[in-house]
Amino acid sequence: MKLLVKIHKKRGQEPIIARTVLDTGVLINVERANIESMSGEVLIEVADPEAKRVCDRLKEFGAEVERLEDSVCRNEEECIDCGECVSVCPQNVFSFDEEWNITLKTEKCVLCGKCVEACPHNALSLHQ
């Protein structure tokens, strides 16, 4: 399961991802991180059965945690299957099926936003 973790440094410099791994014993895969001077956002992936325990521990450290079901959303009425998203996505979220229609594997998305910027019909949006 993907979790979007928002960190506020007003709460201190505690390495909350590392502490969460140590405290829970759950391995966490960091897929993307954007840390500024006073706040940050980290996209992590954890095994589904362990997600609640990880969420609870991160919240104890003062982080905001959001479960992501669909990272990227496609408006099928606007999408013309042009393939711009296929060409720019570094995670291979998008591909063509045998009928040349765009298919998505949203579980691969790391919320980089490159597909949204590239889409000429504004058919894509990020869940944030």
Same domain, 62 and 93: no
Same domain, 40 and 53: yes
Same domain, 76 and 64: no
Domain CATH code at residue 20? 3.30.70.260
pTM of the full predicted structure?
Answer: 0.71
How does pLDDT run across 78-125, given as a tens digit for each residue? 999 999 999 999 999 999 999 999 999 988 888 888 999 999 999 999
* Structural domain range at position 24: 2-68
Instruction: Tell me how far the alpha carbon of residue 49 is from its chain's centroid.
Output: 18
Same domain, 48 and 88: no
First to last CA, the chain: 16
Question: What count of Cα atoms within 13 Å lies in the side-chain half-sphere of residue 116?
Answer: 13
d(CA 33, CA 41): 6
DSSP-assigned states of every residue in 8-51: EGGG----HHHHHHHHH----EEEEEEE-SSEEEEEEE--GGGH
Same domain, 6 and 62: yes
**CA angle, corner 101, sides to 112 and 79, nearest 5?**
60
How does pLDDT run across 24-60, given as a tens digit for each residue? 999 999 988 888 878 888 989 999 899 999 999 999 9
Same domain, 6 and 64: yes
Residue 12: which pLDDT band, with cuts at 50, 70 and 90? low
pLDDT for 28 equals 95
d(CA 4, CA 25): 19
Same domain, 54 and 90: no
Same domain, 78 and 62: no
Structural domains of the chain, count? 2
Domain CATH code at residue 84? 3.30.70.20
